[in-house]
Amino acid sequence: MRALLQRVTEARVTVNDAVIGETGPGLMILVCAMAGDTEANADKLAAKIAKLRIFPDEDGRMNRSILDIRGSALVVSQFTLAADTSRGNRPGFSTAAPPDEGERLYDYFCKQIALQGISVATGRFGADMQVSLVNSGPVTIWMET
């Protein structure tokens, strides 16, 4: 699985002008299931994200996890993280999991993040979503299992 994490002060996702998910201080997580990914990949990614120390401590050093700050997460599916731009000018997405499997693993990943003790809001798989956020730092981290 691939994920792009952004440390945020706030983030929201809308569909048809309606807010369907939002978070305060915590993480915006864009996630993509890749072909061949399994629940074990989602488990590993969720556990790593929960413990990742990218939030500032009292000295301003990145030394706290989302659990430490009692932050929340907005998790949005984004198959374009599978983009292959190695040939031509149009990205290919053949390395992404098929839609049914991608949705299943996305839902599973969201549940695993919640099981880590993190409050989770979500986007809507396959929808045309508008995402807005305030990136704190800015801190943006790429992760892949």
Give the integer Cα–Cα distance in Å for 23 and 26.
7
Catalytic residue among 6, 23, 78, 122: 78
User: Can you give the residue ranges of every domain in the chain?
Assistant: 2-130
Catalytic residue among 9, 80, 130, 140: 80
What's the whole-number average pLDDT of the chain? 97
CA angle 2/31/10 to nearest 5° reads: 130
- For the chain, the distance separating the N- and C-terminal CA atoms, rounded to the nearest angstrom, is 5
Per residue in 13-27, pLDDT tens? 999 999 999 999 999
Q: Give me the mean pLDDT over the 46-67 stretch.
A: 97
Give me the helices (H) in 52-133, please: 99-115
Q: How is domain 2-130 classified at the architecture level of CATH?
A: 3-Layer(bba) Sandwich (3.50)
Q: Give me the mean pLDDT over the 67-96 stretch.
A: 96
As a whole-number percent, the residues of the chain with pLDDT over 90 amount to 100
Is 95 among the residues known to form the active site? Answer: no
Is 80 among the residues known to form the active site? Answer: yes
Q: In this predicted structure, what is the pLDDT of residue 74?
A: 98
Catalytic residue among 6, 23, 55, 79: 79
> Measured between alpha carbons, how far is residue 81 from residues 17, 71, 95 in Å?
24, 24, 10
Is 55 among the residues known to form the active site? Answer: no
